[in-house]
Amino acid sequence: MYSRLRSVWRRVFALAWPVMAEQTLRTLMRTVDVAVTAAISPAAVVAVGLADLYARFPLRVGLGLGGGAISLSSQDTGRDATATRDEAVTQAVLVGALVGIPFAAFGLLFGADAIRLLGADPDVVPLGGTYLAVVLATAPARHVALIAARSLQGTGDTRTPMYVNAVANVANIVGSVGLGLGYFGLPELGVLGVGLATAAGNVFTALALMAAIASDATEAGFARPASAVITRQLFVVSLPKIAEGLSSTLAEFPFNAVLLTFGTNVNAAFQVGRRAYQQVTGPLSRGYSVAANVVVGQALGEGDSEGARYNGWAVAALGVLTVGLVGVLLAVYARPLVSLLDDTPATLRYAVPFAQVYGLSAPFLASFVALSGALQGASETRIPLLARATGMFGFLVGFAYVAGVALGWGVTAAYWSVVLSNVWMALVVALGFHYSGWADRAAGMMAERGNS
């Protein structure tokens, strides 16, 4: 038993560590953005934080389409069906590029209005509108980058996306500091500079990953789209994943509005506290999610449903142990970690508790993310959608408003809403992984692709 578990964990770590390294740099890039904007002004922090609420819409769509690509890619790699895999990759990339165009138009035409709609202060609106317009202009490239990376990861190649994203993220960090604050001989452009650095990174990543897939250096490739069955299955898997991401993003609008009723400093503290949490735990969780998707999807492709189930639980256990430990350390050392991002006393007062509650609930969120990845590897994305939508709207938003505003608990209710939402999501997805018929669903979809 223990030898089997160690074997799975070794394979999971081999798949996950490049994703973790990649996400560490990506999260560090976003953390540097927070630090740079904090050095500019508190209004800049809020502006970028609010703009990111809108920027998460194309992110969620790209991740959703990438979820469909990695699901089909991992299963077809497991059963050595390279033709259908490459066509699924191609179709997902094309759809992602097209869907990104409306987001780009929205940012350019309505960026400032979107920030104003959230009730932001007058000094925040132009800053947030500028950042949003620049970042959303590269939404098609961001979609392509996300989908291409997931497609390669589904084949078991987690290193190529790591190499490409490492270069892009390091350049992004240098660009944010240089263009945001005027270092390295670059002009001081403030929030505009931070946005330009992010946009340039998106374009580079998309072009580099497309070149990698088109070359002989990677197992995945491009193929002429021809199968309507593959198109339909991509949407069957991707749409619930997109809806899951969008529900999370949509829920943050009223949640941020609730926080703003407690004061701008509380909202800024939430952005800082959550960023500290994401920096130290996010890369681990994302790595386990991708690894779970691959080991479950490829096992199903090989016809080993029992092995797929064991692999899913094994990844979840590893996530709980490791991410849980990091979360506890975050809770203990929250103040010095948060101080690295923003040492303003008014912000620290609330940012430290936010980081602590995220840290203490980390095992639940790690379990949710790992099992969601496992279900995604089986083409089952409806259960994670149910878990996240009910958790975000029922607890993050609902509890925060009822207890915080209606009952007068204030910001304390926001802390509890974070914990309760993470616990609920973990519970729902664990029950779904244990009881639902995801293995039969995956087998039926693979058979349908084989007959197309």
Task: Please say if the pLDDT value at position 451 is more than 80.
Answer: no
Q: Residue 54's closest CA among 195, 166, 170, 176?
A: 195
The per-residue pLDDT for 1 is 63
Angle at CA 31, nearest 5°, toward 30 and 36? 95
Q: Residue 134's closest CA among 72, 221, 47?
A: 47
Domain spans in the chain, listed from the N-terminal domain onward: 2-450
Place of tokens 């089952």: 380
Q: Residue 151's closest CA among 228, 212, 232, 203?
A: 212
pLDDT digits (tens, 9 = 90+) for 198-227: 999 999 999 999 999 999 889 888 988 888
The per-residue pLDDT for 376 is 93
Mean pLDDT of 187-196: 89
- Mapped onto helix, strand or coil, the DSSP state of residue 119 is coil
Q: Residue 185 — φ and ψ, nearest 5°?
A: 75, 10
Which residues, 6+ apart, have CB-to-CB distance to 440 below 8 Å?
none
pLDDT category at 401 given cuts 50, 70, 90 is very high
pLDDT digits (tens, 9 = 90+) for 249-298: 789 889 988 888 888 788 888 888 888 888 788 888 889 999 999 999 99
Mean pLDDT of 9-35: 86
Distance CA 131, CA 83 (A): 41
Taking a C-beta distance cutoff of 8 angstroms, is the pair 209, 164 a contact? yes
Whole-number percent of the chain with pLDDT over 70: 100
Per-chain mean pLDDT for the chain: 90
pLDDT digits (tens, 9 = 90+) for 309-358: 999 999 999 999 999 999 999 999 989 888 887 778 888 888 899 999 99
Amino acid letter, residue 80: D
* 379 Rama sector, left if φ>0, alpha if ψ -120 to 50, beta otherwise: left
Distance CA 134, CA 224 (A): 33
- The alpha carbon dihedral of 70, 76, 80, 83 has a sign of negative
The per-residue pLDDT for 318 is 95
Q: Residue 19's closest CA among 297, 366, 322, 282?
A: 282
Distance CA 140, CA 234 (A): 18
The per-residue pLDDT for 431 is 97
Taking a C-beta distance cutoff of 8 angstroms, is the pair 449, 78 a contact? no
**Is residue 371 classed exposed, middle or buried when 0-12, 13-18 and 19+ CB atoms within 10 A define those classes?**
buried
Distance CA 48, CA 220 (A): 36
Mean pLDDT of 21-41: 83
The per-residue pLDDT for 315 is 95
The per-residue pLDDT for 198 is 92
Distance CA 394, CA 250 (A): 13
pLDDT digits (tens, 9 = 90+) for 142-188: 999 999 999 999 998 999 999 999 999 999 999 999 998 988 888 88
Distance CA 69, CA 99 (A): 15
